[in-house]
Amino acid sequence: MLEVRSLDAFYGDSHVLHGISLRVAKGARISVLGRNGAGKSTLLKSVMNAGPRARGEVLLDGSDLGTLPSFRRARLGLALVPEDRRIFPHISVMDNIRLVEAAAGPQGLVDPETILAAFPILKPLVGRYGSQLSGGQQQMVAVARGMAARPKVLLLDEPTEGLAPVIVDQMAVSLTALCDALGTGLLLSEQNIRFARRCTSAVYVIESGRLVYQGSWEDFDARPDIKQRHLSV
Amino acid sequence: MQIGFALFNALAVGMAIFLVAAGITLIFGMLRILNISHGSIFMVGAYIAFTVVGIEPGSISWLLVGGLVAGGVLAVAGLCINFGVFRRLRHVDEAYSLIATFAMLMICNGLVKLVWGVNYHSISAPDALAGAIFLGPVLVPTYSLFIIGMGIATFLALEILIHRSRIGKVVRAIAHDEWMSNLAGINTPLVYALVVMAAFFLAGMAGGMLLPNQSVSPLLFESYLLQSFMVVIIGGLGNIRGAFIASVMLGLVDGVNFLIMPELPGLLIYFLLVTFLLWRPQGLFWQPGADTAGHTEKAPDPTSIPSAMPVRLSPQIACIIALVAVLVASMPIYVNEGFLFIAGFAMVEALLALSWNFLFGYVGLATFGHAAFFGIGAYFVGFLLRDYGVSFPLLLAGATALGVLSAMIVGLVALRRTSGIALGILTLSLGEILRRIINYSKTLGSDDGLSGIPRPTLEFGLFSVDLSSERAYFWFLCVACATVALLLRALTVSRFGRMMVSTRQDPVRAEFLGINVQRVRLTAFAISGAVAALAGALHAPWAQIVTPDTVSYLHSTQPMLNTLLGGSGFFWGPVVGSVAFSTLGYATRTLAGLSEVISGLIVLVVVLGAPGGILGIGKQLGIFRAKRPQAGSPDDAREGAHP
């Protein structure tokens, strides 16, 4: 489904990613773990062609995305939920979700009822303006907005950052339920291992722009040294 | 009755302004580019419509057809300009986009002169709009009613489109966060193009509908240029509701102006603008999160900041400097009078440009009213030299002091409250206020200016130097300009120069390091004003005439153009630019319009393609073997010999 082949990424002169290759099979859910500054966000943005200068191949359903701008990638079935959420403050929650209609393709947006069923916390908020939401609510809206476009793969960047534990739990439930319901693949960048384990089936570890580990969660748990060396602070 | 008529008239004026300003507001709201050329685009629209309908448009619909054709042509032009120019300007420093759009203004104005000539044309309103009707007791011209109706209709259409429609939501989302809108699958480049096309279409429509409002001439751009700025600023940048209300306000203020001081047209509007900028630099309808004039501080590009490091002079460089100095100083011997005259002007302009870049390049402040300081110096010297024969050195000192004083007064108020675009427009307005006052002053010669200014004799007690001949004054100019330029250069590589650069690179951090940023800015402002006034003082006896044009905003843009053409990242960049511009002006002087088109094109190409200017290109090509990583390499000093 989504495949990244020897991806290098740059910000100006600094070389951030070095030869990253990974795969997200249809409907599969994958985590990318790493410390601050390891290159997780850069990886997701590079897949989306939304910022860093990238070299290498990004393939969606087998076809190379080349130099397509991010809005075309969004229309082809990639959705990036950035870590700073970027909720539009001047329009309502519902309008925020509807804004991705352009990316949704011929099938149209996911039925709002389906989304609200997965994110019950949003039900009373649909009429509020983006500027009137708390951080946790904004994150929910951001994920809901990403999913509303029916992406083939959701690129989710550190959704739990700064959220209360109870919200993190709700997020895990909502996210997995919605991905299951819509058959959406997930590429999740996280530092919260517990959350990542609840949402995904396999894990990549990234350090200083290079992938240093890949495997299932069972393998990961069997190798405490990985966590020790690459993830502990 | 009288008041009712005045009120109606004011409303018509306001709506006319709104029709023009709607486009500039749209572009600013969306692209964050203050399109200075909008007034000229409108003028081109008016000329196109004029070509379609002729001197006597038969009916209202004919007038509308003219507007539609002009709008259509301009929309296509807008599409091209969006791809050629605006698309590249979206992520560069504000000052560059202002200068690039100013270059477009020059091109448009030049094209108008080339295509349609410089004559005035008066277009009469179609018969249906030529009369007047009674609205209650008030007699109202039907044409005014037409303008008011069109203004309100345009406003309602835009209001519904932007605030009530789905398209409007998308457009505002992009204005808020282009990056995220892209991720949401919105084709933002397409929306940008459509908005620019709509803005240009509106300018063309306005050109058509306002044809009978005023005569059509190459000066038409001016009548709406500044007003539309004000609408955009007062209304809150890029806000169509604010723009509408601001237009009405401007119309009313203009009406009051006409009632209480008809001899000084347009003056009150500038006072209104200045008050506004100091009181609410963010405009009437500021929305949290929106970029506005009050606070748009983009991180400056560190490579474009001139070096504040002292450079050592190598023997080769010293030789080149000496050679150029000899070449310039011997000009009176080998060039003709006309060329010598231009060379003298170039030196004065170079000094003015140096003073401007002293602020822009080192402190990061772009003023749009530098000609005001220049004019103060020029008028001061011209007046006292001609009518009272005051000693010249005393006058130069006085002009410099006057420059310091006026810059301190302006700086004290302006620098505290504004930065970025707001500062630019504030200084522009103050300059225009000064120009209008000079225009009004009979003592200073009104429109005609001060003519017959004598060239002075320098008395040194035992001997005296007669500067009345062209050659003598030219040599005096060489010495004076070179001295001031070198002093300025010395200042930039001093401790103070490094402080200036640090406040530009990061004012907050500079503040943490114990630098009084406000004081550094104010001091630099005062020095810059002093040098500009001195340049004006030197200019007066050379030109032997000083006109209000020396104070106009068009002259204020000259130092900017010179600086950017030469390279704002180099101390001597403004000098190179002045030489290049003067040469260009001299080479194209015979054909009205052509010189503007060529100068505009060159500036545009430089700003878009080589933001480092001529010296920047030279540096990239490795012509200067820079010994330091930063700009301001030793070889830059080469140009220093002919300030």
Q: Please, which residues bridge with residue B454 across strands?
A: none
Q: What is the pLDDT of residue B304?
A: 67
B288/A99 Cβ within 8 A: no
ipTM given for this complex: 0.93
Q: What is the pLDDT of residue B466?
A: 83
Give the closest-approach CA distance of B285 to chain A in angstroms: 14
Triad A107, A109, A112: Cα angle to 5°: 135
Q: Please, which residues bridge with residue A32 across strands?
A: A189, A204
**CA-CA distance, B329 to B317, in Å (whole number)?**
18
A149/B184 Cβ within 8 A: yes
CB B598 within 8 Å of CB B549: no
Q: Phi and psi at residue A34, in whole multiples of 5°? A: 175, 160
CATH of domain B2-287: 1.10.3470
Q: In this complex, is the C-beta atom of A90 within 8 Å of any C-beta atom belonging to chain B? A: yes
Q: What is the mean pLDDT of residues A111-140?
A: 90
CB B569 within 8 Å of CB B361: yes
Q: What is the pLDDT of residue B20?
A: 93
Triad B531, B410, B348: Cα angle to 5°: 20
Chain B environment of A131 (Cβ under 8 Å): 288-289
Residue from the list B172, B179, B187 with its beta carbon closest to the beta carbon of A90 = B172
Q: Which residue has the higher pLDDT, B628 or B23?
A: B23
**pLDDT tens profile B216-253:** 998 888 878 878 888 888 887 678 888 999 999 899 98
For the cut 80, the answer to whether the pLDDT of residue B294 exceeds it is no
Q: What is the mean pLDDT of residues A182-207?
A: 94
Q: Please, which residues bridge with residue A213 across strands?
A: A205
Triad B40, B46, B49: Cα angle to 5°: 145
**pLDDT tens profile A199-223:** 999 999 999 999 999 999 999 999 9
Q: List the structure tokens of B302.
A: 């560190």
**CA-CA distance, B243 to B231, in Å (whole number)?**
5
**CA-CA distance, A191 to A229, in Å (whole number)?**
14
Residue from the list A89, A99, A149 with its beta carbon closest to the beta carbon of B289 = A89
**CA-CA distance, B619 to B205, in Å (whole number)?**
46
**pLDDT tens profile B618-632:** 777 766 544 444 444
Q: What is the pLDDT of residue B476?
A: 92
Residue from the list B170, B181, B185 with its beta carbon closest to the beta carbon of A75 = B185
Q: Where are the beta strands (DSSP E) in B436-516?
A: 450-451, 457-460, 463-466
pTM, whole model, 2 decimals?
0.85
On average, the pLDDT of chain B sits at 85
Task: Report which of A143, A131, A134, A189 is spatially closest to residue A163, judged by C-alpha positions.
Answer: A134
Chain A environment of B165 (Cβ under 8 Å): none
**DSSP character string of B218-284:** TTHHHHHHHHHHHHHHHT-TT-HHHHHHHHHHHHHHHHHHHHH-TTSTTHHHHHHHHHHHHH-TT-T
- Kindly state the DSSP code that residue B516 receives in the 8-state scheme: -
Coil, strand or helix at B135: strand
**CA-CA distance, B454 to A93, in Å (whole number)?**
73
Task: Work out how many CB contacts closer than 8 A connect A with B.
Answer: 68
Chain B environment of A145 (Cβ under 8 Å): 184
- Residues ≥6 apart with Cβ < 8 Å to B394: none
Give the closest-approach CA distance of A124 to chain B in angstroms: 22
Q: What is the pLDDT of residue A74?
A: 95
For the cut 60, the answer to whether the pLDDT of residue B339 exceeds it is yes
| pLDDT band at residue B289 under the 50/70/90 scheme | very low
pLDDT-above-70 percentage for chain B: 92
Q: What is the pLDDT of residue B642?
A: 43
Most confident of A174-183, B129-138, B230-239: A174-183
Chain B environment of A48 (Cβ under 8 Å): 183
Triad A48, A51, A57: Cα angle to 5°: 45
Q: In this complex, is the C-beta atom of A44 within 8 Å of any C-beta atom belonging to chain B? A: no
Q: List the structure tokens of B165.
A: 């429609």
CB B15 within 8 Å of CB B151: yes
Q: Please, which residues bridge with residue B518 across strands?
A: none
A69/B182 Cβ within 8 A: yes
**CA-CA distance, A9 to A39, in Å (whole number)?**
9
Find, in chain A, the residue whose alpha carbon is nearest to that of B167: A99
For the cut 50, the answer to whether the pLDDT of residue A190 exceeds it is yes
B185/A74 Cβ within 8 A: yes
| pLDDT band at residue B302 under the 50/70/90 scheme | low
CATH topology of domain B316-641: ABC transporter involved in vitamin B12 uptake, BtuC (1.10.3470)
| pLDDT band at residue B46 under the 50/70/90 scheme | very high
Q: In this complex, is the C-beta atom of B469 within 8 Å of any C-beta atom belonging to chain A? A: no
Give the CA count within 13 Å in the CB-facing half-sphere of B420. 21
Q: What is the pLDDT of residue B284?
A: 64
**DSSP character string of A125-147:** GTTSBGGG--HHHHHHHHHHHHH
Q: Which of residues 95-114 of A touch B (CB under 8 A)?
A: 95, 99-104
**pLDDT tens profile B175-215:** 888 999 999 999 999 999 999 999 999 999 999 999 988 88
Find, in chain A, the residue whose alpha carbon is nearest to that of B188: A71
**pLDDT tens profile B502-531:** 888 888 888 898 899 999 999 999 999 999
Q: What is the mean pLDDT of residues B610-615?
A: 80
A99/B183 Cβ within 8 A: no
Q: What is the pLDDT of residue B164?
A: 86
pLDDT-above-90 percentage for chain B: 37
Q: What is the pLDDT of residue B288?
A: 43
Q: What is the pLDDT of residue B296?
A: 38
Long-range contacts of B408-411 (CB under 8 A, 24+ apart): B408/B522, B408/B525, B408/B526, B408/B529, B410/B525, B410/B529, B411/B521, B411/B522, B411/B525, B411/B526, B411/B529
**CA-CA distance, A52 to A65, in Å (whole number)?**
15
For the cut 60, the answer to whether the pLDDT of residue B292 exceeds it is no
Selected residue of A41, A68, A71 to mutate for chain B interface (largest B Cβ count, 10 A): A71
* Residue B160 burial (10 A CB sphere; 0-12, 13-18, 19+): exposed
B546: left (phi over 0), alpha (psi -120 to 50) or beta: beta
Chain B environment of A80 (Cβ under 8 Å): 183
Q: Which of residues 155-214 of A touch B (CB under 8 A)?
A: none
**CA-CA distance, B34 to A96, in Å (whole number)?**
29
B567: left (phi over 0), alpha (psi -120 to 50) or beta: left
**pLDDT tens profile A53-89:** 999 999 999 999 999 999 999 999 999 999 998 999 8
**pLDDT tens profile B158-173:** 999 988 888 888 998 9
User: What is the longest distance spanned by two Cα atoms in chain A?
Assistant: 48
**CA-CA distance, B14 to B219, in Å (whole number)?**
20
Q: What is the pLDDT of residue B264?
A: 79
**CA-CA distance, B284 to B246, in Å (whole number)?**
8
CB B158 within 8 Å of CB B201: no
Residue from the list B173, B183, B186 with its beta carbon closest to the beta carbon of A48 = B183
On average, the pLDDT of chain A sits at 92
Give the closest-approach CA distance of A133 to chain B in angstroms: 15
Q: In this complex, is the C-beta atom of B214 within 8 Å of any C-beta atom belonging to chain A? A: no
Which sequence spans correspond to the domains of chain B?
Answer: 2-287, 316-641
Q: In this complex, is the C-beta atom of B179 within 8 Å of any C-beta atom belonging to chain A? A: yes
Q: What is the pLDDT of residue B290?
A: 42
Selected residue of A49, A70, A110 to mutate for chain B interface (largest B Cβ count, 10 A): A70
Q: How many Cβ atoms from other residues are within 10 Å of residue B295's Cβ?
A: 13
CB B36 within 8 Å of CB B109: no
Task: Tell me which residue has tokens 């058959």.
Answer: A183
Task: Tell me which residue has tokens 């933001």.
Answer: B611
For the cut 90, the answer to whether the pLDDT of residue B130 exceeds it is no
Selected residue of B172, B182, B183 to mutate for chain A interface (largest A Cβ count, 10 A): B183
**DSSP character string of B81-130:** HIIIIIHHHTTS-HHHHHHHHHHHHHHHHHHHHHHH-S--B--PPPHHHH
Radius of gyration of chain B (CA): 25
B181/A69 Cβ within 8 A: no
For the cut 90, the answer to whether the pLDDT of residue B359 exceeds it is yes
All structural domains of chain A: 2-231 (3.40.50.300)
**Virtual CA dihedral for B150, B153, B155, B157, nearest 10 degrees?**
-140
For the cut 60, the answer to whether the pLDDT of residue B140 exceeds it is yes
Task: Tell me which residue has tokens 């539609």.
Answer: B68
**pLDDT tens profile B532-587:** 999 999 999 999 999 998 998 888 989 988 998 888 888 888 999 999 888 888 88
Task: Report which of B75, B84, B81 is spatially closest to residue B202, judged by C-alpha positions.
Answer: B75
**DSSP character string of A48-106:** HTSSSEEEEEEEETTEE-TT--HHHHHHHTEEEE-TT----TTSBHHHHHHTTHHHH-T
Q: List the structure tokens of B449.
A: 């200016």
Q: Which residue has the higher pLDDT, B335 or B380?
A: B380
B184/A102 Cβ within 8 A: yes
Q: What is the pLDDT of residue A175?
A: 94
Q: List the structure tokens of A139.
A: 């994150």
Cα distance from N-terminal residue to C-terminal residue, chain A = 34
Q: In this complex, is the C-beta atom of A132 within 8 Å of any C-beta atom belonging to chain B? A: no
Q: In this complex, is the C-beta atom of A75 within 8 Å of any C-beta atom belonging to chain B? A: yes
Chain B environment of A70 (Cβ under 8 Å): 182-183
Q: What is the pLDDT of residue B303?
A: 58
Q: Phi and psi at residue B373, in whole multiples of 5°? A: -65, -45
**pLDDT tens profile B453-501:** 888 888 777 788 888 888 889 999 999 999 999 999 999 989 999 999 9
Task: Report which of B386, B430, B379 is spatially closest to residue B402, judged by C-alpha positions.
Answer: B379
Q: What is the pLDDT of residue B624?
A: 55
Q: List the structure tokens of B27.
A: 């572009």
Kindly tell me the number of DSSP H helices and DSSP E strands found in chain B.
27, 6
- Residues ≥6 apart with Cβ < 8 Å to B385: B392, B395, B453, B454, B456, B540, B541
A71/B186 Cβ within 8 A: yes
Q: Which of residues 265-294 of B touch A (CB under 8 A)?
A: 287-289
